[in-house]
Chain A
C-alpha cells in the first residue's frame, strides 16, 4: 500500500559517490595492467588473457556508472559544482580507463620477446603509473568530504594539494617513457615487430598518465569553479 505523499523528491540524484567509485576503478584498472605486465614478463599468456578480460569487464562496469551519472545529472538539479565542469571532469576521468583497456588489449596482440632489463623498465613505468592513479584516487575520494563540509577552504586546499603532486609524477613518468623509447629503438637483434608493439604500449601507457593529469586538472577546475 503506497498511501503517502513525500517531500523526499526535493533531494535529487547525487553523483559524487559514483564519481569516487569511478575513480577507484581507474586505479584498479592500472593495478590489473601491472599484473598483466608481470605475467607477460613470466611468459604466462593465459594469465595475460584472463587479466585482459578482467580489465574489459571493469571498463564496462565503469561505463555503466558513467552512463548513470550522465543520465541523472539533469539541468533541473541544483548541485554544489557546475554541471558542465562535472561532466567534463567525468569524461576525462573515463579516458584513464579507456586507455587502460587499450593497453590491456595491445599486450595480447603478439607474444613479444624481450630482455629482462626491458621488462624491468616496464615495471618501473607501471609502478610510476600506479603511484599516479593512487594519488588521483585519494584526491577524488575527498569529494565526499568536500560536500560534507560544504567545500570549506581547508578541505579544498587539502584536496587540491594532490594536483601538483600528480603533475610532478606525470612528468617523472614522461622521463621514464623517454628512457624506455630510447632503449627500445636501440635494441640489437630485436624483432622490429616486437619493438613496434612495445613502443605502442609505452605511448598508450603515457596516455593513461596523461589522462590522470588532465582529469586532476579538470577536478581542480570543477572544485574552484563553483
Chain B
C-alpha cells in the first residue's frame, strides 16, 4: 500500500509539474509576448499566484475530479487507489506524448477522460453499474469545455471593443497602451491565480481520491499540487514562456489585457462552479475574441480545428489507457 502512495505522489507531482511547465507557462506567455513584464517577474508572479490560487480556490474542482464522475464512496478503497493511480499515470503519459509532439491538448481533458476510464473499468468488472457513473456531472463538465472558450471569446470581444471605442478612438494609442501596461500586470496575476485554482485539481483530484476523499480536501494536498505547479514553472515553464512569448509579438498591452481578463474571469468562474476547464483553450477563445473585435493583425483559425481534434482524441485515449492500466493492476496485484 505504501508503495502505491509513493507512486501516486510521484505521478501526481509529475502531472502538477507538467501543468506548471506547460499550461501555466502558456497562460503567462501573453504577458511576456507584450513585454508587460520581464521573464523573471513573470516566473515569480506565476509561481506565487498559481500556488495561492491552488491552495485557496482549488477545492471545488478537486472535488469534481475526485468523486464527481466516479462515485468512489461505493468502491472498495483498494480499487480506488488502483483506479486513481492508473488515471494519474495515463494522463501523465498522454500529456507527455502530446507535449513531445506539440499537440494542443488539455491536461484537464486528459484527467477527466482518465477518471471516466477508471469508472468504466469498474463497471466492466461489476463493481459499479453503468447508471452509477455520474453522467449528469460529466455532461456538465463537457458542456463547460464548450462554453468556456466561447465565454472567453465573448468577454474578450466586449472588453476589447470597450477599450477600442472608449479609449483607442479618442486618445493617442501610445498613451492608452502605456496605461494598460500596468493593468496587464494585474491581469497577469489574475490569470495565474485563476489557472492555479482550476488546473491544480488535475493533479490533486486523483490524489485526494487515493487518500480516501470524503468531502474535504486536506490543505496539504492542495499545497502539494500548488508546489508542483510552481516548481514546474520555475524549472521548465520559463523556457516555454520565452518560446511561446516570442511567437506572440502582435499582442499589445490592451490586447493582452483583454485576452487575460476574459480568460481569467471565465476560468475563475468555472472554478467557482467546480468545473474543470482548459485554460489554454479558453485563452485561444479569448484571443479569437480580441481578433473578432478587430484587435489583431492576424488570427490563425486553423488552431480551432486542431483543438477540436485534440478533444475528440484526448478523452478516449486517456480513458482507454486508464482501463488497461487499471485492469493490469487489479488482475496482477
Q: A interface vs B, CB < 8 Å?
A: 2-16, 76-80, 145, 147-154, 226
Collect the chain A residues with CB atoms within 8 Å of residue B280's CB.
Answer: 5, 7
Kindly list chain A residues whose C-beta atoms are within 8 Å of the C-beta of B98.
5
Interface string of B216-252 (1 = CB under 8 A from A): 0000000000000000000010011001101111111
Query: Is A4 a contact of B244 with CB atoms below 8 Å?
Result: yes
A-B Cβ contacts below 8 A, count? 123
The reply to whether the CB of B295 lies closer than 8 angstroms to some CB of chain A is yes
Given A150-B164, A150-B295, is A8 in contact with B244 using a C-beta cutoff of 8 Å? yes
Task: Give 10 closest A-B pairs by Cβ, nearest first.
Answer: A8-B247, A12-B300, A14-B297, A12-B298, A78-B299, A14-B298, A4-B240, A152-B169, A76-B302, A149-B173
Which residues of chain B are near A9, meaning CB under 8 Å? 104, 247, 300, 302-303, 306
Nearest-Cβ distance from residue B327 to partner chain A, whole angstroms: 29
Closest to B98 in A: A5
B100 at the interface (CB under 8 A from A): yes
> Which residue from chain A places its CB closest to the CB of B169 in the assembled complex?
A152
The answer to whether residues A150 and B168 also contact, given A11-B299, A77-B300 and a CB cut-off of 8 A, is yes
A-B contact pairs, 24 of them (CB 8 A): A3-B21, A5-B104, A6-B102, A6-B104, A6-B240, A6-B243, A6-B247, A8-B244, A8-B247, A9-B306, A10-B287, A10-B303, A12-B299, A14-B298, A77-B299, A77-B300, A78-B299, A78-B301, A79-B298, A80-B297, A145-B173, A148-B173, A150-B168, A150-B295
CA distance A145 to B104 in the complex (A): 32
CA distance A11 to B251 in the complex (A): 9
Stretch among B22-30, B47-55, B112-120, B123-131 lining the A interface: B22-30
With A78-B301, A150-B164 already in contact, the answer to whether A4 and B295 are too (CB < 8 A) is no
Q: Is B10 an interface residue (CB 8 A)?
A: no
Q: How far is the CA of A152 from the CA of B246 in the complex (A)?
A: 27
- Check A78 against B243 for contact (C-beta < 8 Å): no
B216 to chain A, nearest CB (A): 33
Q: How far is the CB of B317 from chain A (nearest CB, A)?
A: 16
Whole-angstrom CA separation of A226 from B292 in the bound complex: 12
Q: What distance in Å separates the Cβ of A187 from its nearest Cβ neighbour in chain B? A: 53
Q: Which residue of A lies closest to B284 (CB)?
A: A10
Whole-angstrom distance from the CB of A3 to the nearest CB of chain B? 6
Determine if B42 is an interface residue (Cβ-Cβ < 8 Å): no
Q: Is the CB of A4 within 8 A of B297?
A: no
Rounded to whole angstroms, the CA-CA distance of A15 and B103 in the bound complex is: 26
Nearest A residue to B301 via CB reads A76
Please tell me if B45 contacts chain A, counting CB pairs below 8 Å: no
Interface pair A11/B287, CB less than 8 Å apart = yes
In B277-333, the 8 Å CB interface with A consists of 280, 283-284, 287-288, 291-303, 306
